[in-house]
Structure 1
Amino acid sequence: MFKLENNEELTDIKLNEFLSQHATECTNRYSELEKAYRTDYPIFHQKKKPDWKPDNRIAVNFAKYIVDTMNGFFIGNPIKVTADEENIGKYIEMLDQYNDQDDNNSELAKTCKIYGKGYEMYYVDDQANIGITYLTPMEAFMIYDDSILCRSRYFVRLYKDADGVLHGSISDDTRVRYFTQRGKLTWDPDDKIHGFDGVPAVEYVENEEHMGIFEPVLNMINAYNKAISEKSNDVDYFADAYLKVLGAILDEDSIKQIRDNRIINFPGALKDILPEVDFLQKPDGDATQEHLIDRLEKLIFQISMVANISDQNFGQTTGIALKYKLQAMSNLEKTEERKFTSGMNRRYKLIFSNPVSGMKKDDWLKLHYYFTPNFPANVLEESEIAQNLDGIVSQETQLSTLSIVDSAQNEIKKIDQEKEKQQSSVVDQQLMERLNNGQQNVLEPEGSSTASEEHHR
C-alpha cells in the first residue's frame, strides 16, 4: 500500500519513487499471477534437457479454474440494486445499462481474484454522462494518507504507448493531471476538474490481506505441473526403452532386421552361452508419482477453498448435502460480498456527488444490494419459500428470493400491469353479458323511450 502524510505534497521525486515501487511490485508479483492465469507457468521456462531425453512440458491451469469457478459462484447471478425512491432506481438502472455494469462487475471481481485487488475509475464522458471503467493493479494504484482511516489522496493510472514511453494521469479530490515519463516527469499544462467530491476511483479488495484467490496454492500448482510433466516423460521413456542383448554379437544388418521385422534369431550364438534379450528399464516409480499427483490435487482445492465441481462424485450430490460440499465456497463468497458491498457504497457515493448525476449527495444511502450465490437452482424450493413469505415480508423481498427474477421492482410493475389488464377485461366481459341478456338500455341516453312505450301511450 502506498502512503503519503496528510501535510506532505506529492512532488515529482515522491511520485517517481511510487512509480518505481509499483514497477517492482508488478515484476515480482502481479506479472507472475497474471502469467499463471494465462497458463504461462515456470515449467515452460526451465532449462532444455538433452535431445536424447524426453522433455515434455505440461501445465494444468488450476489458477484459471479456481478463479473462473469462484467468480461464477460469486457473481454469476448479477448483483441486484434496489432503491427506496423510484427516481433513484431509474437512474441506477440507466447508469448500469449505459456502462454495461453487470459485465464490469464480473470483470472487476475476476481481477480481484487474480491480483487480490482491482480498481474502478469514474469520469464524465463527451455525452455528459458518468462513465465507469475497471483497471488492474498492473495499470493503476492508489495513494492513501497515513491515518488509521487510510483515506484516498491520489489515484494514478498508467499506460505505455507504442514506443514504450510511460504515460499516466493522477487524480486528487478536485483535478486530473497528465504526465509523461522519459527519464524525468513532464506535465501536460492542461488539467481538468473532474466534478466528484473526492478522488474519482475506488479500490476493491478480495480480502484484507490483498491476496489473490490462488496465490496461497501457486507453489503447489507448480509442483503439480512438474510432477505430471515427469510422469509424461516416463511414459515416453518406457515407450522408447533400449533393447538389451547379452550372449550374442549382432552386426548392423542383424540389428536392422530385428528392428524392421520384429523377429529375433541367433543361429551364431556363442557356445555354451544362452542369449538374453529384454528391454533395459529404470526402476518404476508409478505408484509414488500417482500418490503425489493425487495428494497435490486434493490440497490445491482444499487450501484454495474452491470445490472441484468437475469431480465425478460431485454431481451425484443434491439438496442440503450439496450445500455442505459448497460450504467453504459459501464462506469465501460471504467475505467477498462484504468487500464488494463496501466498494459499491463508495462507488455510488462518488457518482451521486457529481452534479451530472442529478442525484442528491446522500441518495446513495437509499440503495440496497442483493447478492445471489450461483448454487444449482431449485426453482420449486424457491417458489415454496416465496409463498411462505407472503404476508410476512414486503412483496419486493418476497420476489427477490427467486433466482428467475432479475429485478424485483420491475417484476412488481409487471404484476400491477397484468392486474389492470385483468380488471379491464372483467369490466368488458360484464358489459358484454348485460348486452347479450337484452339490457340494451345501458347504452341509451336518459329520457329516451322505446317504440312499444310510444304505442301504449
Structure 2
Amino acid sequence: MNAYIIKPDTIFNLSDDKDIINIEVLNGLITKHKSLITDRYKKLYDAYIGDYPILHQADKETYKPDNRVVVNFAKYIVDTFNGFFIGVPIKVSSKKKEIDDYINLLDKYNDQDDNNAELSKICSVFGKGYELYFNDDYGNLGITYLDPREGFMVYDESTVQKPRYFVTYQIVDEVMRGYIYDKTYKYEFNDKGGLHVFNGVEHGFNDIPATEFIENEERMSIFESTYSLINAYNKAMSEKANDVDYFADAYLKILGPKVEDSDLVHIRDNRTINFESMDGSGDGIVVDFMSKPNADATQENLINRLERLIFQNSMVANINDENFGTSSGIALRYKLLSMSNLAKAKERKFTSGMNRRYRVLFSNAITHRSENDWLEVEYKFTQNYPANLLEEAQTAAQLSGIVSHETQLSFISAVEDTNAEMERIKKEDENDMVETENRIFQNNEDSQNDEQ
C-alpha cells in the first residue's frame, strides 16, 4: 500500500443469530483489528507524533545532501482544534440538585475534565475513541479512556447498529490478554497455549459498560484529508533544504590550464572540475563556480500553496498567521467560522456519547440513581474564542433594557456561570441596600443629636 494512503476505518458487526462470541469468531475479529492497527491507526498516530514516510525513505548516495525535514501539521491541527473545542471544559449539570451533586462528585473523582480533553484528542487523531466504565477497588465508579488500538466495539447488523460487545486486549511478553463485555458479563481471555475464554462475572451495569465516541459520522481523523498534502509539504521542504546544501557545495570550474591529476584525487571532496583547452594555448582561462538552475521561486510557490490547502482542507485556522492577530470582533469570528462549524458538528457527536455515558453509569446500583436520570443531564460547550473583554462589556451594556440580565452576562466570557453571577449581584445589591439604610439611619440620628 502506498505510504501516503490510509486505509478507511472499519465497523465490526455480528449478525443477530450469533448470541455469543465463540473462539473462532473472537479470533477473526482480533485478526481484523490487528490489520486495522497496522494499515490505519499506526499511520495516524505516527503522523501525530511527527513520524512521517519521508523519514523512512531509502538513503541517497553519500555525496548527495539528504535532509529529512518534518513540519508536523497533524499535531498542530489536532491540538489547535481541541484547544478551541474543549479548551474550556464542558459544563455538565442538572436542574435537579441531587443529580447535579452526584455528577459533580463523579466527574471530580474521575478527573473527568482531563478525561474529556484526552478523549477528544484521541477522536481527532484516530476518528474515534472509547470510554470504559467499571467498579473500582474503593467501591466507586471509575471512568477511563482508550484509543482504538486498545479495543473495539462490536455492533449488530440492524440499521441503528446497537452495541453487542466491547473487546479490549493487550499483548505482554508475546501473550495476548483481554476482556469481552456484553450487557451483563465481563469475560476474560488469553492466547496462552491457544485462545481461551473464561467464565464471566457480572459487571454491574444494565448495558455494555463502554461507549464509542466519534469525531464525525465517517470516523475520519481531523487531519486525514490533508495527510497526502502534509507529506508533499515535508518532501518540498526537504528538497529545498537539499538545494541549500547543493549551492553551499558548489564545484569550482577551471577551464584552460591543465591541473595535475594528483591534485584532483578526491574531486567530490574538493568540488573542483578541470577541463583542458582544446589547443593547449592557455588562452581564455576561466575559473568560477558551476551554478545549479535556481528553482527557489517555484519551490516557494509550491510550499505556500500546500500550506494554504492544508489549513483549508482541515478547516482549522492557522492562528500563527501574521494577519490573524490583527483581527477582532466579527472579523475574527469569520476567520474562525469553518473551525466553529467543525466544532459544532463534533459537539453533537460528543453529546451523543455523553448521553450514553451517564445512562450506563446511572444503571449501576451503587449510584442509587434511576437509569432515566440521564435525561435530566445538560451539557454546555463553550468554544474557546480569543477574549476581548472591553468589546464584550460594551456589547453587554448596549443590550441593557433589550434582553434579560442573564443574557447580558452570557456575552461576557469572564462569567463562567451566569446563574451564580446573578446570585452574587443580587447579594451585593442587598448588601448595598442595607448599608444605604444604615447610613441614612445614622445620618438621621446624627442630625437629631445636633438639634438637641
TM-score normalised according to structure 2 size:
0.87
Query: For 1:226-249, what per-residue CA distance to the aligned partner results, in whole angstroms no more than 9, with x for missing partners?
Result: 111011011101101111101012
Counterpart in the other structure of 1:328:
338
8 Å contact from structure 1 (residues 242, 280) kept in 2: yes
Q: Distance in 1 between matches of 2:400 and 2:319?
A: 35
Counterpart in the other structure of 2:244:
235
Query: For 1:248-283, what per-residue CA distance to the aligned partner results, in whole angstroms no more than 9, with x for missing partners?
Result: 122479779xx99xxxxxxxx953522111112332
- Deviation, 1:160, is 2.1
Counterpart in the other structure of 1:451:
none
Q: Is 1:14 the equivalent of 2:14?
A: no
Determine which of 64, 73, 76 is the counterpart of 1:65: 76
CA shift in 2, pair 1:27/1:336, >3 Å? same
Counterpart in the other structure of 1:122:
133
CA shift in 2, pair 1:407/1:122, >3 Å? farther
Pairing 1:269-280 to 2, within 5 Å after superposition: 271=281, 273-280=283-290
Q: Is 1:26 the equivalent of 2:37?
A: yes
8 Å contact from structure 1 (residues 144, 151) kept in 2: yes
Q: Distance in 2 between matches of 1:18 and 1:299?
A: 37
Pairing 1:17-416 to 2, within 5 Å after superposition: 17-161=28-172, 163-182=173-192, 184-189=194-199, 191-251=200-260, 271=281, 273-383=283-393, 399-408=409-418, 410-411=420-421, 414-415=424-425
Computed over aligned residues only, the root mean square deviation of the Cα atoms, in angstroms, reads 2.8
8 Å contact from structure 1 (residues 305, 328) kept in 2: yes
Q: Distance in 2 between matches of 1:127 and 1:39?
A: 40
Q: Distance in 2 between matches of 1:358 and 1:436?
A: 61
Q: Distance in 2 between matches of 1:160 and 1:272?
A: 75
Structure 2 residue identity aligned to 1:124? N
8 Å contact from structure 1 (residues 166, 181) kept in 2: yes
- Deviation, 1:389, is 6.8
Single out whichever of 422-431 and 407-416 deviates more from structure 2.
Answer: 422-431
Q: Distance in 1 between matches of 2:404 and 2:431?
A: 23
Q: Distance in 2 between matches of 1:388 and 1:434?
A: 39
SS of residue in 1 equivalent to 2:244:
helix
CA shift in 2, pair 1:218/1:168, >3 Å? same
Query: For 1:4-29, what per-residue CA distance to the aligned partner results, in whole angstroms no more than 9, with x for missing partners?
Result: 12231211110111101100000000
Q: Distance in 1 between matches of 2:78 and 2:256?
A: 60
Q: Distance in 2 between matches of 1:322 and 1:219?
A: 29
Query: For 1:334-354, what per-residue CA distance to the aligned partner results, in whole angstroms no more than 9, with x for missing partners?
Result: 101111111111111111111
Q: Distance in 1 between matches of 2:254 and 2:260?
A: 12
Query: For 1:345-398, what per-residue CA distance to the aligned partner results, in whole angstroms no more than 9, with x for missing partners?
Result: 111111111121222221111121111111111234444555677788777666
- Deviation, 1:164, is 3.0
Structure 2 residue identity aligned to 1:49? K
8 Å contact from structure 2 (residues 256, 282) kept in 1: no
Structure 2 residue identity aligned to 1:211? M
Q: Distance in 1 between matches of 2:154 and 2:441?
A: 72
- Deviation, 1:193, is 1.6
Q: Distance in 2 between matches of 1:278 and 1:294?
A: 34
Q: Percent identity?
A: 51
Q: Distance in 2 between matches of 1:43 and 1:313?
A: 31
TM-score normalised according to structure 1 size:
0.86
Give the structure with higher Rg (CA): 1
Single out whichever of 281-290 and 101-110 deviates more from structure 2.
Answer: 281-290
8 Å contact from structure 2 (residues 184, 208) kept in 1: yes
CA shift in 2, pair 1:180/1:422, >3 Å? farther
Q: Distance in 1 between matches of 2:83 and 2:103?
A: 23
Query: For 1:113-158, what per-residue CA distance to the aligned partner results, in whole angstroms no more than 9, with x for missing partners?
Result: 1100011111111222111111100101100111111111111112
Structure 2 residue identity aligned to 1:100? D
- Deviation, 1:51, is 0.8
SS of residue in 2 equivalent to 1:371:
strand
CA shift in 2, pair 1:393/1:319, >3 Å? closer
Question: Structure 2 stretches of 5 or more lacking a match?
Answer: 1-10, 271-278
8 Å contact from structure 2 (residues 23, 196) kept in 1: no
Number of residue pairs aligned between Structure 1 and Structure 2: 429
Query: For 1:268-310, what per-residue CA distance to the aligned partner results, in whole angstroms no more than 9, with x for missing partners?
Result: x953522111112332222221111111111111111111111
- Deviation, 1:108, is 0.6
Structure 1 residue identity aligned to 2:229? M
Structure 2 residue identity aligned to 1:345? N
Q: Distance in 2 between matches of 1:433 and 1:351?
A: 61
- Deviation, 1:186, is 2.1
CA shift in 2, pair 1:351/1:414, >3 Å? farther
